[in-house]
Chains A and B, each alone.
Chain A
């Protein structure tokens, strides 16, 4: 099973809202990732968690707050977002120390 699930599929939020994106995998992977993808662009890495610890933060604004409560779950907490944050947010996972990343279907976020 190489499935990564993400909820919700779509999210519309105002600039003052607080919301969370959720990602889950049951492949035993110990590395999990958040990417942001704008239309017609490749995914841009935001965060990497390795063994539930944040290992890479690509200088992402603090209005995005990641959390890895256990080895299967990854959350992205959103607060005071801007319209330019509207994008497809992708979660991925991999074996720790390996590069083959398996992606979820994404959450389409719209900020009004």
Chain B
């Protein structure tokens, strides 16, 4: 069965520190991969996506993610976290041409001064 795993439910980092959020997927073939961010009570905003090509993907707000086929991972990174980055982050995967996207359970990011 297709699945997306985010092993960390909650992460706390200090403002200015680096961040890495983990995501692993289980799919029959290499899926399309996404990271979304959601502030409380808001919709989901697309941070970045990977379809093919360069395995290091740049997104908005200074985020990047690296696709590693050998580890079935698509981890999200940011070199220096800002207090405004505090939110819920969802990793998601889909198969090309198929509209059903599988979401991970989400990682809540807390940023402390």
Contact = CB atoms under 8 A, between A and B. Distances in A.
Size band of the interface chain A makes with B: 20 to 34
B104 A42 contact: yes
A74 interface: no
B98 A99 contact: yes
A34 interface: no
Interface in B25-63: 32, 34, 36, 41-46, 49
Interface string A1-18: 010101000000000000
A112 interface: no
Interface of B: 32, 34, 36, 41-46, 49, 90, 94-101, 103-106
18 contacts: A31-B99, A40-B106, A41-B105, A42-B104, A48-B99, A48-B100, A94-B99, A97-B99, A99-B95, A99-B96, A99-B99, A100-B46, A101-B46, A102-B46, A104-B43, A105-B42, A106-B43, A108-B41
